[in-house]
Structure 1
Amino acid sequence: MTLAIVAISLSIFWVLKMNETIRQLLNRRSIRKFTDDEVCAEHLNYMLNAARQAPNSVNGQQISLVKPRILLESYAMFGQYDEAAVKKGVEEYESILRQWWDTKGMVDMPSYKLSTEKYYIQ
């Protein structure tokens, strides 16, 4: 028997033996066409449970459910912030932290301002 015939035979065998779960996995597709329709709680719980059970590497998969839509739209604005306001807020928070750390005797705490500016302020 030639290698091509063996491969075809195995392919046919695999297709015939393939169960519905595998067929669904192989034929899945992503649809990114959304509507404003509300998803009922029962369907939402069903989808979340299915997502939680999906295989992943070292439980690295995170699931986020964002409700209501206003909150979702605010996430879209997350990257657009006022740098001056961030600097002022960070400085005020640093001052509050320092006072609290001093009362607790925590003198070797790293600077919140420096660690925050590293990520948010150019």
Structure 2
Amino acid sequence: MNDTISQLLNHRSIRRFTDQPVTEEQLNLIVSCAQMASTSSNVQAYSVIAVTEPELKRELATLAGNQAYVEQCSVFLVWCADLYRLQQVTAPHLVDQPSYEDSMENLIVATTDVALAAQNAAVAAESMGLGIVYIGGVRNHIAEVSDLLGLPELVYPVFGMCVGYPDQDTSLRPRLPVDAVLHRNIYSKEQIVEQVKAYDETTKQYMLERTMGKNDTPWSKTMANRLAQPNRLHMKEFLLSKGFMNK
């Protein structure tokens, strides 16, 4: 155990923030740490938009599902998969050669790159005493969010991240047992079901404590309810409209 491992094992989402601002120096350090994340072939296919203007945060909070903490946090970071920059700077070198920035593979590369960078940023922010919460809700009305932020073709917002000084002390949400996700040499179909059964009992107890006895829904039932909903089915059409997945 060391300080880094202790910090990682104590991550929790923060949804209430004080009025203390994140400084420009802190923001630059957070993004600098994000940039040191691993990136496929050094393409660095992502951009991040730091939103601090109150009215813009208010609009984004509404579009993200009326999540008030988007408006209340010091800075709202919108993490974008970005192949536009790559397209623009490589075009002079390619001349008449075909270019594949709009391939499915490069969409995967860009989405992976931005996720890795954002997690580095989250760890850096928490090491400074800040709190964060990821906001997938920016994809609820992704076209409107993209227009609001002026995102060009081949750029899409993958998720947002609220950053600020915590004004709450939340409990740790239990994760799946290690043996439910760690397979050795080959994928073990047998172990996952039994491990999730045990986890369901853990999450039932967690929910009872969190809701003061009002909810005991286990994880597998929560996930079943989630999969039964036609969630953000507009994403494929949107990505195609932005020039992704053409090859």
Alignment TM class, shorter chain as reference: 0.3 to 0.5
More helix by share: 1
Give TM-score scaled by structure 2 length.
0.20
| TM-score (normalised: structure 1) | 0.36
> Which one scores higher on RCO, CA 8 angstroms, separation ≥ 6?
2
Which one has a bigger Cα radius of gyration? 1
